[in-house]
Amino acid sequence: MSDLLEIQEPTVANEAPVENVRPPAGAAKPEPWSHPWHDQFGLLYHRAIAEKIRRQPSLLHIAKDNLRRWMAAEPEATPSQARREWQLILDSNDLSEIIRLMIDPSEEGHRRRQSTPFAGYLSLAERNAVRDQLMES
């Protein structure tokens, strides 16, 4: 699924402003739009989503629905390792573990976020706010 299609998915109603989502303390400021910049953006993006899910755990259904829909779109294909991994994580229903893995700052966390099922949680304004906070940091 292309990034453009993921961005155009519906967002969660009753949006709360994205505030205080900052890069990790001591993190070097990467060159804008570089791979490290995108890694930090992905981490901040997932922190903002995690806050929404902490406030309203029922929102996990969006990621689960995304995975089901993506896998159903290619019924003949074997799901990718990343999709199978996220499926296992989300099926655990352990909210604290799901959030921990969403916002894991390690290389494994960055790898997992490359194939995130958490599309459709943030509005364009919220995504822009996360990006702007990274640009300002």
Cβ atoms < 10 Å from Cβ of 137: 11
Residue 5: predicted pLDDT: 35
Residue 20: predicted pLDDT: 52
Residue 48: predicted pLDDT: 96
pTM score: 0.75
CA 8 to chain centre: 14
Residue 31: predicted pLDDT: 77
Domain boundaries, the chain: 35-136
**Residue 33 burial (C-beta neighbours within 10 Å; 0-12, 13-18, 19+):** exposed
Whole-number average pLDDT of the chain: 82
Q: What whole-number distance in Å separates Cα of residue 135 and Cα of residue 137?
A: 6
Residue 4: predicted pLDDT: 34
Tokens representing 84 are: 């199978």
Residue 47: predicted pLDDT: 97
pLDDT averaged over consecutive 10-residue blocks of the chain (137 residues)?
38 48 62 79 95 96 95 85 93 94 95 94 94 84
